[in-house]
Each structure stands twice: as structure tokens, then as C-alpha cells.
Amino acid sequence: MSRAALAVVRHRKQPIHVVVCVGCGCDDLHACETAIGGACYWVAVNHKRFVGICSECAEPMMQALLERHK
């Protein structure tokens, strides 16, 4: 975590709830790198449960679901 992020975390009065990808485990503070370089982004997020699917996991997860239902 960067110093700036740590400073924000230390000075907040309420806890920070970080969304985590169910596929790879990346989160709001630690994005995974995409195949073309750069950071992933959220394709789907459940803010109540703090879970989501990042752009790098969306297609492989969809393919796995389609394979299961053949």
C-alpha cells in the first residue's frame, strides 16, 4: 500500500471496506495488471458484500460457466 493510501487509512474515523475480486483476489487498493499493460477495472461489484469480478477475470469466469452448462 502506498504512503498516501496508508495516510488515508490512518486518518479515517470509519473502517475502509475494500472490494475483492472473487477470481484473482485483486482489490480496490491492489489492481492486477492487464494483458496489454495497465490496471484492471471492475466489471461487476456487490458493494454490500465487498466482492466483485475484475476485467481480467470476467472472460475466463464466463467461459468456465459456459463450459459447465454444455
Domain extent listing, the chain: 18-68
Query: Is the model more confident about 9 or about 37?
Result: 37
Confidence of residue 69 (pLDDT cuts 50, 70, 90): confident
> What are the φ/ψ torsions at residue 7 (nearest 5 degrees)?
-65, -40
37-55 confidence digits (pLDDT tens) = 899 999 999 999 999 999 9
To the nearest whole number, what is the mean pLDDT of the chain? 83
H-helix or E-strand spanning residue 21: strand 20-21
Mean pLDDT of the region 8-30: 80
* pLDDT value of position 4: 44
Nearest CA among 45, 21, 44, 16 for reference residue 31: 21
